Amino acid sequence: MRGATTPAIRRLPLGRSLDRSLGCSRGLPLAATLLGLLAGPALAQEAGKDPGKEPAAPPAKTDTASAPQTYESTIANSKGETIGKIMIRDGANSLVMRLAIQAGGLPPGWHGIHFHAVGDCSDTEKFEKSKAHVNHDQSKHGLLNPDGPDEGDLPNVYANADGSVNAEVSSETPLTGEGGLRDGDGSALIIHANEDDHTSQPIGGAGSRIACAVIK
Ligand SMILES: [Cu+2]
Ligand SMILES: [Zn+2]
């Protein structure tokens, strides 16, 4: 279970929560904001003790400069045939996933996609072994739900007239570590028959599970 308690940051591991809790967009330089936060109290303290002294410089923050973790997996349809792949990159504050599905892979139109809780795509007819959405804190489903989203929720993707897809989506759910997709039993990327309305329970009316990729 994640330690944070305020609603705005309850779903996020600490490293990702700071940006949100400060209320600043990713566009703003986080390092500068942190510097201000850290220097502020230090300055007040120092000034009270010794007015003539310069505040100590905050420690340098280096973790955001590290390279993103990557992960790739194939996507299987309900016949167990490979129809494409997912490519995940996970940085300090967000995970980015690219989907590449070949022509004939999906029915044309919008499809809901989610991270499901178990990395098992072996029951190809229904993909029920992947269980429900990743959801460690009983959030409601839906990116547009005021009591959501759960950690498995993602934007819809659109399959072209030929059934191919090239899409990229982001998520605050990490790949590894606390609450990560690659936990003990893994996770799965599930593609649904219909689009997700991002509001209704339990899966936004997205319908049956038609494709699956193991994330383990
Ligand atoms: Cu789903
Ligand atoms: Zn959900």
What predicted TM-score, i.e. pTM, was given to this entire model?
0.73
Mean pLDDT of 103-124: 98
Ligand showing the shortest atom-to-Cα distance for residue 151: 2
Distance in Å, CA 128 to ligand 2 centroid: 15
**Residues with Cβ < 8 Å from 197, sequence gap 6 or more?**
142, 144, 204, 205
> From the CA of 4, how far away is ligand 1's center (Å)?
26
- 113 C-alpha to center of ligand 1: Å? 6
**Measured between alpha carbons, how far is residue 16 from residues 4, 11, 208 in Å?**
11, 9, 32
Q: What is the CA radius of gyration of the chain?
A: 21
Q: Is 186 helix (H, G, I), strand (E, B) or coil?
A: coil
Cα(27) to centroid(ligand 1), Å: 30
CA–CA separation, 33 and 91 (whole Å)? 19
Give pLDDT, residue 147.
97
pLDDT category at 76 given cuts 50, 70, 90 is: very high
Is residue 44 included in any domain, yes or no? yes
Looking at residue 120, its pLDDT comes to 98
Residue 140 Cα to ligand 2 middle (Å) = 7
User: What are the structure tokens assigned to 70, written together?
Assistant: 């990557």
Domain stops at, among 43, 63, 83: 63
> Which pLDDT value is given to residue 199?
98
Pick from 20-29, 72-81, 186-195: least confident: 20-29
Is there a single domain that holds both residue 89 and residue 166? yes
Across 49-59, average pLDDT? 57
Place of tokens 């004939």: 104
In the chain, the number of structural domains is 2
Is residue 2 situated within a structural domain?
Answer: no
Residues 82 and 159 in one domain: yes
- Judge if 126 and 41 occupy the same domain: no
CA of 208 to the centre of ligand 1 (A): 8
Report CA 53 to chain centroid distance, whole Å: 44
Identify whether 1 is part of a domain: no
Q: Is residue 120, in this structure, part of any structural domain at all?
A: yes
Structure-token match 């429900």, residue found: 132
Distance 159 CA to ligand 1 centre (A): 17
Judge contact between 76 and 124, C-beta under 8 A.
yes
- Which residue, 37, 63, 89, sits at the end of a domain? 63
Q: State the average pLDDT over residues 82-101.
A: 97
How far apart are alpha carbons 118 and 149 in whole angstroms?
Answer: 18
Report how far residue 172's alpha carbon sits from residue 95's, in angstroms, rounded to the nearest whole number: 6
CA–centroid distance, 134 to ligand 1, in Å, is: 9
Judge if 73 and 174 occupy the same domain.
Answer: yes
Average pLDDT over residues 5-21: 43
Q: For the chain, give me the number of helices (H) and strands (E)?
A: 2, 9
Q: Are residues 154 and 205 in the same domain?
A: yes
User: Rounded mean pLDDT of 48-57?
Assistant: 54
- Per-residue confidence band for 66, with pLDDT thresholds at 50, 70 and 90: confident
**Residue 99: Cβ-neighbour burial (10 angstroms; 0-12, 13-18, 19+):** buried
Based on the fold, state whether residues 114 and 26 are members of the same structural domain.
Answer: no
- Domain-embedded: residue 53: yes
Q: Residue 27: its pLDDT value, please?
A: 38
Residue range(s) defining the domain that contains residue 44 = 7-63
CB neighbourhood size of 38 (10 A)? 16
* Nearest ligand for residue 209 CA: 1
pLDDT band for position 115 (50/70/90)? very high
Residue 53 has what pLDDT?
55
**Does 171 score more than 50 pLDDT?**
yes
State the distance from the centre of ligand 2 to the C-alpha of 88, rounded, in angstroms.
Answer: 19
175 lies in the same domain as 144: yes
Ligand nearest to the CA of 154: 2
Query: What distance in angstroms lies between residue 190's CA and the mean position of ligand 1's atoms?
Result: 5
pLDDT at position 36, please? 42
What distance in angstroms lies between residue 112's CA and the mean position of ligand 2's atoms?
Answer: 10
Q: Look at residue 175 and tell me if it is in a domain.
A: yes
Q: Is residue 104 part of a domain?
A: yes
Average pLDDT over residues 140-161: 98
The mean pLDDT value of the chain amounts to 82
pLDDT (0 to 100) of residue 65:
60
pLDDT at 162 over 70: yes
How large is the angle between the packed helices 14-21 and 30-49, nearest 10 degrees? 80
Joined together, the tokens standing for residue 202 give: 């339990």
Instruction: Mark whether 114 and 172 lie in a shared domain.
Output: yes
Distance from the alpha carbon of residue 19 to the mean position of ligand 2, in angstroms: 23
180 occurs within a structural domain: yes
